[in-house]
Chain A
């Protein structure tokens, strides 16, 4: 994609190049910079507010907040580990499922499906993105949760019961149900961006590969997929961001129990849910501060996961280049 874009740009800019007034160019550059600076300012402001808001809790609990599990508003003792665990695990499971389903369906729609079908299916999947999260939550609570408790859970336990993640009592509202709901909510993002990226790969690359004697599958595997990898990664990060911060739907189906269990059938808790649940009625200073610190942690977690993902991608590209 890189090569193609550069050539087009060079040819295009040659054609439109004409003398511009310096003032207009300066004004334009200023606007572009100002628009970007707004993001930096908002981010800085966010960090500032979160740190100053959580200062009492940071000072009182220190690093203990990160690895203690007791969350007791009556005794004013707060530890955030169960929330961190629940947030990371539910989002990563959802990302794993959504990335697999989303990228595969995007490949099918962009490369293999008849055009009519592709358009129709694409619209249907994108419509999922327009469903309000509270509707996902209600559906999850009243439809999915009983199904997980009655059918999916026992089936998984029968087949893979030796794995710790499928052991124990099966609740309807649990980590698994929350992850499944999150998957549904973020799959349109992954699918729709990936499909557009794959469709955007110029046809002549595929033709060239096919002309060299490769199969359709090989063209996709060795030419199309590597080209769209950075973009698809970006789509996954966007999706993960939504999963990490999703509040109402998760709150309705995760069970809201601040404890850590290896089993996906046990209830859990996420940071966003805890804030949504408890912020309105939190009255003591330390309590409010602890909730804000959870918000700060959510921001840190998003940044860390994003950075880890980028590192992973960079390594993948480097290794790919060497091979």
Chain B
């Protein structure tokens, strides 16, 4: 009487053991940037739907950790908001291909009672505010730039990211590009020393957004993806061509398209030329070995990233990332082709 039951249990067990073996899973692992994580989740999920034999495990431990793990070859690929520099490449000790995988922009969000979205800002004023030189919302320069807007006599509170992040890198890269004072005094980095006396740090985009929303008179920089999904007021920024533009998927894509020949040593697209370009935007990068340590993974890794920088980009827009422009995709494909599979 118990025999059929036991048989059933036995075959069920056998089935469980056999399934993974039958599928011959290829598990690729990666680690790095948290900025890439939502996009990678989408892209890798879509990829594994089409290629059931490949699964990708990406751990968003931060760019620093990603570079570290990648350099020690404990993961198949890394991801970093800022490409590895010469020193980091030397320490890794093997040739590395760095390709852009994600494109994002940053909006300047503010909280001013009675002032709606679309306050105009120039690079000079933005730098002045973050340097702590422009301290009141009714500063004559701000008033002159925004006729018809009732700017309150409120002190400005500068809100920035407290955690080290690629978002801060791109923002400080922009201010360094447009303001010699900022470049000399502060510079660019994932964590920087904030000069404004009224500065406050929030952890993550949600921390910055939360502080801006709660503090009347606050101004801060927030990733486009986060800005678009939250109801925040954000500024129109004057670009290099002299036009005031909102951060949108289109204006960030326009900025990226204006400079297709990017590389790991020349990657900044802030303050881009072009009539519609939004000036604060940048890439995040995938780190791939030219000669993968695990040769069995090489072909799959190459195919995965060929897809990620081209077809996979179709997943970007729905979650607030900007798809790589066609000319940047072409550059990326060419770089990936150097991989030995």
The answer to whether B188 touches A173, judged by C-beta atoms less than 8 angstroms apart, is no
How many chain-A residues does the 8 Å CB contact rule pick out?
Answer: 32
Residues of the B chain whose Cβ atoms lie less than 8 Å from the Cβ of A171 = 157, 200, 215
| Beta-carbon nearest neighbor of A267 in chain B | B200
The answer to whether A281 touches B200, judged by C-beta atoms less than 8 angstroms apart, is no
Residues of the A chain whose Cβ atoms lie less than 8 Å from the Cβ of B187 = 74-75
The answer to whether A73 touches B193, judged by C-beta atoms less than 8 angstroms apart, is yes
The answer to whether B214 touches A277, judged by C-beta atoms less than 8 angstroms apart, is no
**Which residue of A71, A149, A280 has the most chain B CB atoms within 10 A of its CB atom?**
A280
Q: From DSSP, what is the main secondary structure of chain B's interface residues?
A: loop
Considering only residues 143-185 of chain B, those with a C-beta below 8 Å from chain A are 155, 157, 162-166
**In whole angstroms, what is the CA distance A251 to B62 when docked?**
18
Residue A218 at the chain B interface, CB threshold 8 Å: no
**In whole angstroms, what is the CA distance A75 to B185 when docked?**
10
CB distance from B84 to the nearest CB of A (A): 9
Given A141-B210, A251-B162, A256-B162, also A280-B193 (CB < 8 A): no
CB distance from B334 to the nearest CB of A (A): 27
The answer to whether B193 touches A255, judged by C-beta atoms less than 8 angstroms apart, is no
Residue A90 at the chain B interface, CB threshold 8 Å: no
Residues of the B chain whose Cβ atoms lie less than 8 Å from the Cβ of A267 = 200-201
Residues of the B chain whose Cβ atoms lie less than 8 Å from the Cβ of A182 = none
CB distance from B154 to the nearest CB of A (A): 11
**In whole angstroms, what is the CA distance A255 to B88 when docked?**
32
Residues of the A chain whose Cβ atoms lie less than 8 Å from the Cβ of B240 = none
The answer to whether B207 touches A280, judged by C-beta atoms less than 8 angstroms apart, is no
- Interface 1/0 per residue, A276-308 and B, CB below 8 Å: 111111110000100000000000000000000
| Beta-carbon nearest neighbor of A259 in chain B | B197
The answer to whether A257 touches B64, judged by C-beta atoms less than 8 angstroms apart, is no
The answer to whether B193 touches A72, judged by C-beta atoms less than 8 angstroms apart, is yes
The answer to whether B200 touches A257, judged by C-beta atoms less than 8 angstroms apart, is yes
Residues of the A chain whose Cβ atoms lie less than 8 Å from the Cβ of B211 = 141, 172-173
How many chain-B residues does the 8 Å CB contact rule pick out?
Answer: 36
Residues of the B chain whose Cβ atoms lie less than 8 Å from the Cβ of A121 = none
The answer to whether B203 touches A172, judged by C-beta atoms less than 8 angstroms apart, is no
The answer to whether A256 touches B201, judged by C-beta atoms less than 8 angstroms apart, is yes
Residues of the B chain whose Cβ atoms lie less than 8 Å from the Cβ of A74 = 186-189, 192-193
The answer to whether A277 touches B189, judged by C-beta atoms less than 8 angstroms apart, is no
CB distance from A146 to the nearest CB of B (A): 5
| Beta-carbon nearest neighbor of A171 in chain B | B200
**Which residue of B62, B162, B186, B214 has the most chain A CB atoms within 10 A of its CB atom?**
B162
Residues of the A chain whose Cβ atoms lie less than 8 Å from the Cβ of B210 = 141-142
Considering only residues 226-266 of chain A, those with a C-beta below 8 Å from chain B are 251-252, 255-258
| Beta-carbon nearest neighbor of A248 in chain B | B203
**In whole angstroms, what is the CA distance A277 to B61 when docked?**
12
Residue A273 at the chain B interface, CB threshold 8 Å: yes
Residue B284 at the chain A interface, CB threshold 8 Å: no
| Selected A-B contacts with CB under 8 Å, 21 pairs | A70-B193, A73-B191, A73-B192, A73-B193, A74-B188, A74-B192, A141-B207, A149-B214, A171-B200, A172-B215, A173-B202, A251-B162, A255-B201, A256-B203, A257-B201, A267-B200, A277-B203, A278-B163, A280-B65, A281-B190, A288-B64
Q: A75-B187, A256-B200 are in contact. List 12 more A-B contacts (CB 8 A).
A: A73-B164, A74-B188, A74-B193, A141-B214, A146-B214, A171-B200, A172-B215, A252-B207, A255-B201, A257-B201, A280-B63, A280-B64
Interface residues of A (CB under 8 A from B): 70-75, 141-142, 145-146, 149, 169, 171-173, 251-252, 255-258, 267, 273, 276-283, 288
Interface residues of B (CB under 8 A from A): 34, 61-65, 67, 81, 88, 155, 157, 162-166, 186-194, 198-203, 207, 210-211, 214-215
